[in-house]
């Protein structure tokens, strides 16, 4: 009887959709209980809980994703929605045009080179190196880039998200230590390095930081799409 | 709310179709974002419902990454074999990127500021 219900539920989208929302709420609850410490990142907590649940119930990722894809799908409209903070803070963006362009260019190249450089030094396999190239770009775009240059798109998706969590956890205190006070600069740096998860964090700093992080996601997606194949060829990386 | 969601989906759709038609190397939603931004600038007005819906969606942005993040369970062996390289690239690489971007941008702002004061 119970197994029958389980078999039915485990195969329907409802269960995994609900579980995803529940672990998200649990992640936020734990984050608040910890006193809002950056180390207890709500996304990292939620993913850890979810992975434990999937492992304990022996659920394959593909079964889980069939249900959770409805949430994953919302990444598209959410990306479009970044036009709104951009519109609201356009005056500041226009004033900072040159700093944005120069910061973006150096940041984007640094993201690619630092990732493959460090992984190469520590013995990463060629496939891992290629999957790391678009690590600071927003998920759907990063997967497309990985496929084009010979990385593993699904591995890239995971790398992108862990990168975002790392950025969200550590970037604000690093920026304070560097004495960066301008929220526009903070948002831009977090957005270039840690895409949407960083932007979620930047939105907590201020709406202005969120707007610049959102702008950085879009610009970095464009730039890395163009830069990645070029740099892979220059560095003679092959899978 | 429904109207605002329709606007967001519509612009995503236009973005996806544009990318397919012209063969742009850019993702559809990013083109959708640019087009929505341009049309807001052109109309010089932001409907309250669109603003509220966008802000709600963006305040839960981190929820949307959970499904893809759980994909980490497919890579247990790879993570066990190459964890040091991956962690270094993801954590150190990201911190280096944050620092370089922030310092360069701050530096250019300072230089501009000084040039304006001098000139």
pLDDT tens digits along B6-24: 999 999 999 999 989 998 7
The lowest-confidence range among A32-41, A115-124, B30-39, B41-50 is A32-41
Query: Could you say which DSSP state residue A1 is in?
Result: -
How far B80 CA lies from chain A's nearest CA (Å)?
12
Q: For B71, which residue in chain A has the nearest alpha carbon?
A: A158
Same domain, B1 and B46: yes
Q: Which residues of A touch B115 (CB under 8 A)?
A: none
Residue B14 contacts A, CB cutoff 8 Å: no
Nearest Cα to Cα of residue B31 among A200, A225, A72, A206: A225
CA-CA distance, A214 to A211, in Å (whole number)? Answer: 5
pTM: predicted TM-score of the whole model, two decimal places: 0.86
* Burial of A46: CB neighbours in 10 Å, binned 0-12, 13-18, 19+: buried
B24 lies within 8 A of chain A by CB: no
Minimal Cα–Cα distance from B22 to chain A, Å? Answer: 15
Domain count across chain B: 2
Once rounded to an integer, what is the mean pLDDT over residues B74-87?
Answer: 90
Task: Kindly identify which residue of chain B lies nearest to residue A161, measuring between CA atoms.
Answer: B69
B4 and B55 in a single domain? The answer is yes
The complex's ipTM works out to 0.89
Query: Residue A111 and residue B84: Cβ atoms within 8 Å?
Result: no
Answer whether residue B70 is part of any domain. no
Contacts of B62 in chain A (CB under 8 A): 24, 42-43, 168, 196-197, 200
Q: Are B53 and B98 in the same domain?
A: no
The predicted pLDDT at position B106 comes to 96
**Same domain for B54 and B26?**
yes
- From the CB of residue B74, how many other CB atoms can be counted at a distance below 10 Å? 17
Nearest-CB residue to A82 (from B33, B86, B101): B33
Chain B residue numbers with beta carbons less than 8 Å from the beta carbon of A163 are 90, 93-94
Judgement on whether residues B2 and B54 belong to the same structural domain of the protein = yes
Domain boundaries, chain A: 2-73, 80-234
Q: Are residues B3 and B47 in the same domain?
A: yes
Which chain B residue has its CA at the smallest distance from A75's CA? B64
Q: Which of A51, A74, A106 sits opposite B100 (nearest CB)?
A: A106
Q: What is the pLDDT of residue A4?
A: 78
Residues of B in contact with A142 (CB under 8 A): none
The tens digit of pLDDT for each residue in B60-78 reads: 888 998 999 999 999 888 8
Q: Is B83 on the interface with A (CB under 8 A)?
A: no
* B13 in the same domain as B45: yes
Among the partner residues A65, A85, A119, nearest to B85 by beta-carbon distance: A119
Cβ neighbours of A50 in B, within 8 Å: 66, 69-70
- Does the beta-carbon distance from B97 to A136 stay under 8 Å? yes
Shortest Cα distance, chain B CAs vs residue A34, angstroms: 18
State whether A96 and B109 contact (CB < 8 Å).
yes
Size of interface A-B (CB pairs under 8 A): 314
Q: Are B89 and B45 in a shared domain?
A: no
User: What pLDDT was estimated at residue B29?
Assistant: 87
DSSP reduced 3-state for A96 = coil
Q: Which of B61, B95, B112 is the mutation pick for testing A, counting most A CBs within 10 A?
A: B61
CB contact under 8 A, A186 and B102: yes
Domain ranges, residue B39: 1-59
**Residues B97, B44 share a domain:** no
Q: Give CA separation, B68 vs A154, A218, B89, in Å.
A: 8, 19, 19
- How distant is the alpha carbon of residue A56 from its chain centre? 26
Q: Are B83 and B43 contained in the same domain?
A: no
Quick check: A1 pLDDT over 70?
no
Q: Which residues contact A136 (CB under 8 A, 6 or more apart)?
A: A108, A111, A112, A115, A160, A163, A192, A193, A194, A195, A220, A224, B94, B97
DSSP secondary structure letter of residue A235: T
Is residue B69 one of the residues assigned to a domain?
no
Q: What is the pLDDT of residues A197-224, one digit of tens each?
A: 998 889 889 989 998 998 898 889 888 9
> Which tokens in the block code for residue B3?
């109207």
Contact call for residues A217 and A139 (beta carbons, < 8 A)? no
B91 and B45 in one domain?
no
Whether residues B7 and B51 fall in one domain: yes
Write the CA distances from B21 to A70, B11, B28, integer angstroms: 26, 15, 11
B66 lies in a domain? Answer: no
CA dihedral B112, B115, B116, B119 (to 10 degrees): -160
User: Could you tell me the two tokens for B75?
Assistant: 């890579």
Residue B25 clears pLDDT 80, i.e. is over it: no
* Overall average pLDDT of the A136-152 stretch: 87
């Amino acid at each position: 009887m119970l197994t029958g219900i389980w078999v039915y539920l485990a195969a329907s989208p409802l269960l995994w959709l609900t579980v995803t929302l529940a672990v998200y709420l649990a992640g936020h609850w734990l984050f608040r209980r910890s006193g809002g410490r950056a180390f207890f990142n709500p996304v990292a907590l939620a993913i850890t809980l979810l992975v434990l649940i999937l492992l304990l119930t022996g659920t394959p990722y593909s079964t889980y994703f069939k249900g959770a894809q409805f949430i994953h799908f919302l990444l598209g409209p959410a990306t479009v929605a970044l036009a709104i903070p951009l519109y609201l803070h356009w005056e500041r963006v226009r004033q900072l045009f040159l700093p944005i362009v120069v910061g973006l260019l150096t940041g984007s190249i640094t993201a690619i080179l630092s990732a493959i450089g460090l992984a190469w030094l520590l013995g990463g396999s060629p496939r891992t190196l290629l999957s790391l190239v678009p690590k600071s770009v927003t998920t759907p775009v990063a997967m497309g880039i990985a496929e084009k240059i010979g990385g593993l798109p699904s591995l890239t998706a995971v790398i992108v998200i862990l990168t975002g969590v790392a950025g969200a956890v550590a970037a604000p205190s690093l920026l304070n230590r560097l004495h960066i006070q301008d929220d526009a600069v903070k948002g831009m740096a977090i957005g270039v390095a840690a895409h949407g998860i960083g932007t979620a964090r930047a939105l907590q700093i201020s709406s202005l930081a969120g707007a610049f992080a959102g702008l950085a996601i879009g610009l970095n997606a464009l730039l890395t799409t163009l830069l990645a194949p070029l740099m892979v060829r220059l560095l003679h990386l092959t899978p | 709310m429904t109207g605002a969601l329709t606007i967001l989906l519509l612009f995503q759709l236009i973005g996806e179709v544009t990318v397919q038609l012209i063969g742009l190397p850019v993702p559809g939603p990013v083109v959708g974002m640019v087009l929505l931004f341009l049309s807001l600038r052109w109309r010089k007005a932001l409907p309250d419902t669109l603003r509220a819906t966008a802000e709600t969606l963006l305040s839960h942005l981190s929820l949307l990454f959970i499904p893809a993040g759980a994909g980490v369970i497919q890579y247990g062996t790879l993570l066990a074999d190459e964890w040091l390289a991956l962690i270094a690239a993801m954590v150190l690489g990201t911190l280096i990127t944050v620092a370089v971007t922030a310092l360069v941008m701050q530096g250019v702002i300072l230089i501009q500021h000084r040039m304006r004061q001098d000139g």
